[in-house]
A and B are shown apart, each in its own frame.
Chain A
Amino acid sequence: MNQNLEQRALAEKDMPSKARLLAALSNRFRMEIFDVLHKKQTGHWGGSASACDIVTALYFHRMRLDPLVPLWEDRDRFVLSKGHASPLLYTVLAHRGYFPPPLLGSFRDLDSSLQGHPCMNKTPGVDMSTGALGHGISVGVGMALAARLKQKNFKTYVMVGEGCLDEGQSWEALMSAGKFKPWGLTLLVDNNDVQLDGTSREIMPLEPLGDKLRAFGWNVAPALYDGNNMQDIFTSFEALDAMEFWPKAVLYKTAKGKGVSFMEGKSAWHGAPIDKDSYEAGRPELVSAFERALAEVR
């Protein structure tokens, strides 16, 4: 049953059932990411775990795409501006069919197609290379403007974290989106409240973020959604679809390091290697979360 969660989720028409299937899948992805990051002793756990449910929902529910034709010109685009969550993106892409999942074991290896941060010319399915923070919204504005010029109806999703929004360029980009109002551009904020050095409140307060985005001309979804709850993510998508004007933004409250209680909300687990003791203590939590979610879809 584990093996076909992907197929079941993609085929499911009933939304509540689909949300439950994707919740199980996302929990499995979190487990797989945890395993790879421990094995490789490199990579960013915290921000991969926090955004896992949202990115899973995008690729298995929301976006128009064809894994067999990664460069299909009508595909929806996804820009992971917080590129350090590459283990998450790679895991989702692999299981969505862009490349064989065993390749995930080569993450950050010499000669691997899975670079430390996403590289569009090396990994099928990656729509934009990211890593240096602050680029994503700008690129997304360009992609969405391209859709207008090429008379295409693909949509562009950009995901940022708080660190990404520290960059001045993000605000240049937000301003320009307010000017051009590109059709199809949606900003997803993975608001896990924690950056590399500490909490966002300590490092660089962003609040009131929703008000700031509105002031810059964005149409912000009406609630703060739980980005670690698949049903709530689905609700956020419905809210986005109910909004008339572009560009659109949605704020998700998430937990950095989601799924491992002693790692959640801790900046220390932004990018630290997962040591043996932490791995052995943390993994059972992820396994039981997965099993609980799986029990919901048996």
Chain B
Amino acid sequence: MGETMRDSFGKYLVDIGATRSEVVVMDADVSSSTKSSYFAKAYPDRFFNLGVAEANLVDVAAGLATAGLRPVVNAFAIFLALKSTDQIRNVLAYNSLPVVLAGAYGGLSDSFDGASHQSIEDVAIMRAIPGLQVLVPADAGEMRLALDYALGQDGPVYIRLTRNEAPALASRPESLAITKIRKLTSGGDVTIAATGLCVAMALQAAESLRAQGKNAEVLDVTCIKPLDADALAASVAKTGHLVTAEEHTVIGGLGSACAEALSERGLPFCLKRVGVADRFTESGPYERLLAKYGISAEAIVRQAASIC
């Protein structure tokens, strides 16, 4: 077993704290889950546990940001998206305050806790807020780049994290900004645009498709907003077929973002979205839960094969 993304995240926050005294970390009584507890231990004066009160959490961060501090706010992704939407919209985004929102336990990764804790709408909600950038790293390396990027921005950024181990992808070329789409495989038959842990699934799916004689172009989309529409369009213009894959409802997330961008460019393309259908999820072991709700390499293969 490798390291979980939350562990890597917690440790990286400590690294950042060592060199950036303006970074403060905040949590909503889940620091031992989000692993912001590492920062709390290392820099107790710069850590604030606001209790189970996500609305207050985000606005206190806003107040800190007005005076030059750089807060990183930690809470479960679903509760940030639902319990502090007003604060994220009306205070952080409206005022362009540089606060990093770290949504822990994204997607179905809080698998045993069930539908109440699983975050399948956060990307859709955050994406709709004017000026809010939305990043979903696929592995620890991307998580670190996303955090570096977010801490360099003049406004708020939402980073969705997973609770679990994220298989390490090949290193990202240094010259490729985290906001740009990374092409992981080249192919002319179908484009698979994936985000988060679904990127690893997309790579597996591409191998299976190759065995069927179909060449898939796998795109790793870390930054869902703003979307790197040029890279996406270049690929889909070539393949004419797009499968999107995300640990999220199919409404409003990566699939929707891609469909909107490509449709506006007038590209003819056939689309299938892999994600949670319009329904609630449930408790269960993570991988089997994902599979039951239609998120797996097999599901990507199936959808790709149905259109190309």
Contacts and interface: CB of A to CB of B under 8 A. Distances in A.
Most chain B CB within 10 A, of A77, A129, A140, is at A129
B98 to A, nearest CB: 13
Q: Chain A binding site: helix, strand, loop or mixed by DSSP?
A: helix
Contact of A169 (B46, B59, B62, B67): B59
Interface stretch (A30-38, A53-61, A143-151, A188-196): A143-151
B285 interface: no
B63 A150 contact: no
Given A169-B56, A180-B48, A132 B90 contact: yes
A138 B60 contact: yes
A119 B24 CA distance: 25
B64 interface: yes
A141 B61 CA distance: 9
Interface string B51-69: 1010110111111111111
Given A142-B60, A149-B45, A150-B69, A135 B24 contact: no
Interface in B223-265: none
B56 A146 contact: no
Contacts of B61: 142
Contacts of A102: none
Interface residues of A, number: 33
Contact of B68 (A129, A150, A168): A150
A120 B91 CA distance: 10
Contacts of B87: 135, 138, 169
B68 to A, nearest CB: 7
A131 B95 CA distance: 13
A291 interface: no
A73 interface: yes
A73 to B, nearest CB: 7
B67 A139 contact: no
Most chain A CB within 10 A, of B48, B61, B63, B90, is at B63
Contacts of B55: 134, 138, 168-169, 172
Contact of A135 (B48, B50, B59, B67): B59
Most chain B CB within 10 A, of A129, A172, A173, A175, is at A172
Given A135-B87, A142-B59, A145-B64, A121 B24 contact: no
A120 B59 CA distance: 15
A127 interface: yes
A142 B70 CA distance: 12
Given A129-B91, A149-B45, A175-B53, 17 more contacts: A121-B96, A128-B62, A128-B91, A135-B86, A135-B87, A138-B56, A142-B65, A145-B48, A145-B60, A146-B68, A149-B64, A150-B68, A152-B67, A169-B56, A169-B87, A172-B56, A176-B50
Interface of B: 24, 45-46, 48, 50-51, 53, 55-56, 58-69, 86-87, 90-91, 94-96
